C-alpha cells in the first residue's frame, strides 16, 4: 500500500497538505505536480475565495486588487437567510460571459477589466413577483491554472 497523504513537511522541503492519486506515493512526488497529486498546498491560488457578499441587482462588484484572472462565481437570489432554489455556478474567460440562472430573473455579466468586474442584472424590473428574493448572494473563487 502506498502512502498517499502528508500533513506537515514534505520530503522535498515545503510544509503543507499533500494528497497523491491512488497508487502514487506522495513522498516521492514533486509537491507542485498536478499529474500525480490530487491536492497540494503548493498549487497556490486554487479555489481560494477571493470575494463574497450580498448585493442588489445592478451593483457592479470589482474583484480585489491584484486579481488578474477571471473568477468562478457561485451565486443565488436570496431573501434574508433563505436561498432561492436553482443557484448557479459560472466561470468566464477574458472574452467575457453572460449567464442567466435557471428559475431566476437575474443574469450575471462579466464586465472585464483588470481586476475583473461583474454585475447582476434584473431581467424583469418592476412589478414581477420574485417571491421575496430581491438580493444576490455570491462567492467568487480564484481558479488560476498554472
Q: Whole-prediction pTM value?
A: 0.58
Residue 15: enclosing H or E segment and its boundaries? Answer: strand 15-20
The domain locations on the chain are 5-43, 46-143
Q: Which residues contact 64 (CB under 8 A, 6 or more apart)?
A: 50, 51, 115
Please give the chain's pLDDT, 146 residues, in tens: 678 888 888 999 888 888 888 889 999 999 888 888 888 878 765 567 788 889 888 889 988 866 556 677 877 778 777 777 655 666 555 555 555 554 557 778 888 777 788 888 877 666 555 566 678 888 887 655 44
Instruction: Give strand ranges (E) for 21-124.
Output: 37-40, 46-55, 60-62, 72-79, 82-83, 88-90, 98-100, 106-112, 117-122
- Identify the CATH class of 46-143: mainly beta
With beta carbons less than 8 A apart as the criterion, state whether 90 and 73 touch: yes
Amino acid at each position: 500500500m502506498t502512502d498517499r497523504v502528508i500533513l506537515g513537511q514534505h520530503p522535498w522541503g515545503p510544509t503543507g497538505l499533500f494528497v497523491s492519486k491512488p497508487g502514487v506515493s506522495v513522498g516521492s512526488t514533486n509537491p507542485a505536480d498536478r499529474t500525480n497529486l490530487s491536492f497540494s498546498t503548493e498549487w497556490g491560488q486554487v479555489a481560494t475565495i477571493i470575494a463574497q457578499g450580498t448585493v442588489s441587482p445592478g451593483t457592479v462588484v470589482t474583484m480585489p486588487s491584484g486579481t488578474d484572472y477571471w473568477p468562478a462565481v457561485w451565486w443565488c437570489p436570496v431573501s434574508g437567510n433563505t436561498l432561492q432554489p436553482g443557484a448557479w455556478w459560472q466561470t468566464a474567460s477574458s472574452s467575457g460571459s453572460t449567464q442567466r440562472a435557471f428559475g431566476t430573473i437575474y443574469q450575471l455579466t462579466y464586465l472585464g477589466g483588470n481586476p475583473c468586474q461583474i454585475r447582476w442584472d434584473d431581467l424583469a424590473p418592476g412589478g414581477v413577483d420574485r417571491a421575496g428574493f430581491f438580493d444576490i448572494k455570491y462567492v467568487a473563487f480564484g481558479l488560476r491554472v498554472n
